[in-house]
Amino acid sequence: MLRAVTFDLWQTLLLDTAEGLRGARCDRISGIAAVLRREGLAVTVRAVDQAYDEVGERLETIWKAQHDVGSRGQVRILLEALGIEGSVPSEGPVMDALVEAYRHPILRWLPVANARANEVLADLTARGLRLGLICNTGRTPGSMLRQVLDRLGLKGHLSVLTFSDEVGLRKPHPEIFVRTLDAMGVLPAEAAHVGDDITTDVAGARGIGMRAIHLCHASGASPQSDGTESIPALYALPGVFFPHF
At residue 113, the 3 state secondary structure works out as strand
Give the domain ranges of the chain.
4-16+112-241, 18-107
This prediction has a pTM of 0.94
Phi/psi of residue 173, each to 5°?
-55, 130
pLDDT per position as a tens digit, 170-182:
999 999 999 999 9
Q: Using the 8-state DSSP alphabet, how is residue 42 labeled?
A: -
Q: How confident is the model at residue 67 (pLDDT cuts 50, 70, 90)?
A: very high
pLDDT per position as a tens digit, 119-132:
999 999 999 999 99
Distance CA 49, CA 74 (A): 14
CATH number of 4-16+112-241: 3.40.50.1000
